[in-house]
A and B are shown apart, each in its own frame.
Chain A
Amino acid sequence: MKFAVITFPGSNCDYDCYRAIRDHLQCPVEYIWHREDSLRSCDCVILPGGFSYGDYLRTGAIARFSPIMRRVTEFAQRCGPVIGICNGFQILLESGLLPGAMLVNRGLQFICQPVHLRAENTNSPFTASLKPGQIIRIPIAHKEGNYYADDRMIRQLEDNGQVAFRYCDPQGRPTPEANPNGSINNIAGITNRRGNVLGMMPHPERAMDKLLGSDDGRIIFQSIARHLGGGAC
């Protein structure tokens, strides 16, 4: 079971993801530079957070044309698990592997703070170890995390159970006050229809150790490991 962390120019959470896998999950993990043309037989792809290509034009808009993204797309189409965190989520949206787009946060500010998330769909490889409705607390750090899709797409996401996480208050209520950025329906993370691609704005890799405030992010990586150990999706 081997993980790939894709590094783009401007990625800055790649080492956190690498360490989350190597030290906490104790699984093999490799960096793959965005200009490479092979995923080197990795079993799970992580698109880390950061500011790929300086967020020029739109977040993720240029990174999606990096050579490795062709391989990531093929991998996702073959049902391989792909997780995009923060800028990684934005890249997945731009590449069309996930529906919708990101707008600037409602308050226009870059927000860096812990948030509560409610697990909505626990059937994906990334959320299978969570209980439905389980609340975890992990940080966000973004300026463009205001998830948008048109009404029809939002209905489809909700009806198909593609909303993986919602921003909520400590009691698990997805209130307007608990919504940090203005995302429609408090959406913090979604999967594709088949469930093998997850995009989420909050950073599980920054919540791997109680010493740093929370280790609630571990369960997401543990879910993936368990999934990879137990057959395909």
Chain B
Amino acid sequence: MLTAEIHVTLKDLVLDPQGTTLKRSLEALGFTGVAEVRMGKYIQVRFDSDDRKAVERQVDEMCQKILSNPVIEQYRFTIREGQ
């Protein structure tokens, strides 16, 4: 069993209204030194497979096809053993 842990985030050039608002909230709460906040998504996909290469290929295809929108988002993922 392999598990993919996928992070989808807005591209650096794209403004992030949620991140900007969170930054203001953190500052209002007294947290200092926050340079920037960016929000994203975390997606976990479990596979009934131990073929790491095949799983990697599949996850990459999933990210390109549906899990991220390449116009505004970027993705990265890691594959680990177990659930």
Contacts and interface: CB of A to CB of B under 8 A. Distances in A.
A148 B71 contact: yes
Interface residues of A, number: 21
B9 to A, nearest CB: 13
B14 interface: yes
A99 B21 CA distance: 27
B44 to A, nearest CB: 14
A148 B72 contact: yes
A105 B18 CA distance: 9
Given A57-B66, A61-B66, A65-B66, A103 B17 contact: yes
A108 B22 CA distance: 11
B66 A106 contact: no
A40 to B, nearest CB: 28
Contact of B14 (A103, A105, A107, A108): A103
A146 to B, nearest CB: 7
A103 B72 contact: yes
Given A65-B66, A94-B69, A149-B71, A106 B17 contact: yes
B67 A105 contact: no
B72 A101 contact: yes
Interface in A98-155: 99-101, 103-108, 146, 148-150
Interface of B: 10, 13-15, 17-18, 21, 41, 66-67, 69, 71-72
